[in-house]
């Protein structure tokens, strides 16, 4: 739609730092993590359900394997642990390699282009060490000015480090940042960073978020302009 507002409107508009989680917000890679973790768990004789997978959302790769081993009451040598982590990631990457733009979650492109049209700073803040690869697969790598992923942080969500680094990269004050997140740990991280948290998913699970939406189809441009930017 033609926007008749003069350029000056954008020049003086508030700027907010918009930080997006990746898995579960931009794309649904949880299903691929599930397949890869289930295969690994099965090889160890550990059962792994979709409910178990829910508990690994936003959790780092190392911590995920630690949790699975604890659930199965198993301990492994450091060498075997690293070997399994590597194996799981290779399986996961096999699924990622087949991803296309079709797998971008509904209305994500609309929200990204709207924010871009308003010249709002945008960053990615993900626990995944595969974030750049996934963004490249779905052709969104150029949409973000700053990308902070699992390779750039020392402390995993719920620690706020990932989002604070994203704010620093965007040169924005954390209190002027807005985080879109699908995991409980991520909402906790955003809140303790002093940012406004927007949950994407189940309101019962993401109850500590300032706002919760099922997905981006529920987030109108009007809402973004009036509630998030103004």
Should residue 150 be labelled a site residue for ligand B16 when binding is judged by CB under 6 A?
A: yes
Q: Are 39 and 91 in contact (CB under 8 A)?
A: yes
Q: How many angstroms separate the CA atoms of 188 and 193, rounded?
A: 8
Partner whose binding site includes residue 59, from ligand B16, Mg ion, none (CB under 5 to 8 Å by kind): ligand B16
Is 21 noted as a catalytic residue in this protein? yes
Q: What gap in Å lies between CA 101 and CA 112, rounded to an integer?
A: 14
The answer to whether the CB of 169 falls within 8 A of the CB of 137 is no
Please, which residue, 146 or 185, has the CB nearer to Mg ion?
185
CB atoms within 10 A of CB 222: 8
Q: Which of 17, 48, 64, 180 binds ligand B16 (CB under 6 A)?
A: 64
HSE, side-chain direction, 13 A CA sphere, residue 110: 13
Q: How many CB atoms lie within 10 A of CB 219?
A: 21
Among 17, 18, 19, 24, binds ligand B16 (CB under 6 A): 24
- Residue appearing with tokens 């599930």: 34
128 binds, among Mg ion, ligand B16, none (CB under 5 to 8 A by kind): ligand B16
Which tokens in the block code for residue 138? Answer: 């779905």
Neighbours of 155 (CB within 10 A): 11
What would the x/- binding string for ligand B16 be over residues 84 to 123, using CB under 6 A? -----x----------------------------------
38 is a site residue for ligand B16 (CB under 6 A): no
Q: Which is nearer to ligand B16, 162 or 228 (CB)?
A: 162
Query: Which of 16, 17, 24, 33 is the binder for Mg ion (CB under 5 A)?
Result: 24
Q: Is 130 in the site for ligand B16 (CB under 6 A)?
A: yes
- Give, as ranges, the residues between 168 and 187 that touch ligand B16 (CB under 6 A): 183
Whether residue 202 lies in the annotated active site = no
Q: In the numeric block, which tokens belong to residue 84?
A: 């399994």
How far apart (Å, rounded) are the C-alpha atoms in residues 139 and 149?
17
* Residue 199 found at the interface with Mg ion (CB under 5 A): no
Burial (CB < 10 A; 0-12, 13-18, 19+), residue 125, is buried
Instruction: Tell me whether residue 72 or residue 158 sits nearer to ligand B16 (CB atom).
Output: 158
The residues that touch Mg ion, with contacts defined as CB under 5 A, are 21, 23-24, 58, 182-183
* Active site positions, annotated: 21, 23
Which spans of this chain sit near ligand B16 (rule: CB under 6 A)? 21-24, 33, 56-61, 64, 89, 126-130, 150, 183
């Amino acid at each position: 739609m033609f926007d008749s507002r003069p350029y000056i409107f954008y020049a003086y508009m508030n700027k907010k730092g918009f930080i997006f989680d990746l898995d579960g917000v931009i794309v649904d890679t949880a299903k691929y993590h599930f397949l890869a973790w289930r295969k690994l768990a099965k090889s160890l004789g550990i059962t792994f359900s979709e409910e178990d997978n829910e508990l690994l959302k936003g959790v780092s790769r190392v911590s995920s394997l630690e949790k699975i081993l604890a659930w199965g009451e198993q301990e492994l040598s450091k060498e075997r642990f690293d070997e399994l982590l590597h194996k799981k990631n290779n399986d996961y990457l096999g699924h990622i390699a087949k991803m296309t733009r079709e797998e971008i979650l509904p209305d994500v492109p609309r929200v990204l282009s709207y924010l871009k049209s308003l010249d709002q700073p945008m960053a990615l803040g993900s626990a995944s060490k595969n974030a750049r690869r996934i963004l490249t697969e779905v052709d969104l790598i150029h949409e973000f000015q700053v990308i902070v992923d699992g390779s750039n942080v020392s402390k995993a969500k719920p620690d706020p480090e990932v989002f604070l680094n994203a704010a620093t990269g965007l040169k924005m004050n954390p209190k002027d940042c807005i985080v879109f997140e699908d995991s409980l740990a991520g909402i906790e991280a955003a809140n303790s960073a002093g940012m406004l948290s927007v949950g994407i998913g189940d309101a019962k699970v993401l109850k500590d978020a300032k706002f919760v939406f099922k997905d981006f189809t529920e987030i109108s441009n009007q809402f973004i302009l009036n509630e998030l930017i103004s």
